[in-house]
Amino acid sequence: MLRHRTALVPSLFIGLLATRMFVGGAFGYGGDVKHAPDSLADGLAAWEQIYSVLTSPRCINCHTATNYPQQGDDRHRHFANVIRGPEGKGVPGLNCLSCHHEANADSTGVPGGPDWHLAPLSMQWQDRNDKPLSSAAVCRSVTDRSKNENMDGSALLKHHQEAELVLWAWHPGVRPDGTARTTPPLTHAQFVTATRTWVQAGTPCPKGK
């Protein structure tokens, strides 16, 4: 999908009208979008906003490429020898659920939400040295339906609007010392608006590695 998209980008120079036709047709998401797609430039700008959220600690700490989650704004390795496990939920005796329950435990500073788990390795947004992947690379992963649980643009928008662990990022509770955890750089409403713009533009991805 991305290769098709990238290869066709030069054709966009013929004008906005052609761009809109291209986005609505060749990207294949037009059928589930009610509004006319925005320009490619708008879509790419919206993606960069989305990327700023996805690579914030509340999101990327559980989108690792390694055998462990991270924690904290400095994204350090999760303490207590916690590991990923075969399903991203830890291992027997040391599951995510051993500490992370249905809701934040603000009296003890442990974050929680429904079905707390790591994102699958196919949705890793950082390299094995814990460095965030580029905007282009994360975009490729997010839009690759063989990696993203077969989500098209509409499903991605719904995921960003409603998924409980996504919503948790804006309600992350407090740290053990009682101070509030930081939230992503956009509000959730801004994040959803950016996602809608990006989806309406056909989920374009930046060029590059």
Residues that bind other proteins (CB under 8 A): 79-83, 85, 91-95, 97-99, 101-103, 105-110, 112, 176
Q: Strand pairing of 70-71 and 94-95? A: unpaired
Q: Which residue has the tokens 């708008």?
A: 42
- In the complex, minimum distance from the CB of residue 162 to other proteins, in angstroms, rounded to a whole number: 23
- In the complex, minimum distance from the CB of residue 73 to other proteins, in angstroms, rounded to a whole number: 18
Given the complex with other proteins, which of 90 and 204 has the nearer CB atom?
90
As a residue count, the chain comes to: 209
Which residues touch 100 (CB under 8 Å, ≥6 apart)?
110, 111, 112, 113, 116
- In the complex, minimum distance from the CB of residue 71 to other proteins, in angstroms, rounded to a whole number: 12
- DSSP code of 208? -
Phi, psi at residue 20, to the nearest 5°? -65, -40
Structure tokens at 122: 């196919």
Given the complex with other proteins, which of 44 and 174 has the nearer CB atom?
174
- In the complex, minimum distance from the CB of residue 84 to other proteins, in angstroms, rounded to a whole number: 10
Given the complex with other proteins, which of 121 and 151 has the nearer CB atom?
121
How far is it, in rounded angstroms, from Cα 203 to Cα 82? 35
Given the complex with other proteins, which of 108 and 187 has the nearer CB atom?
108
Given the complex with other proteins, which of 10 and 92 has the nearer CB atom?
92
How far is it, in rounded angstroms, from Cα 186 to Cα 179? 20
- In the complex, minimum distance from the CB of residue 175 to other proteins, in angstroms, rounded to a whole number: 11
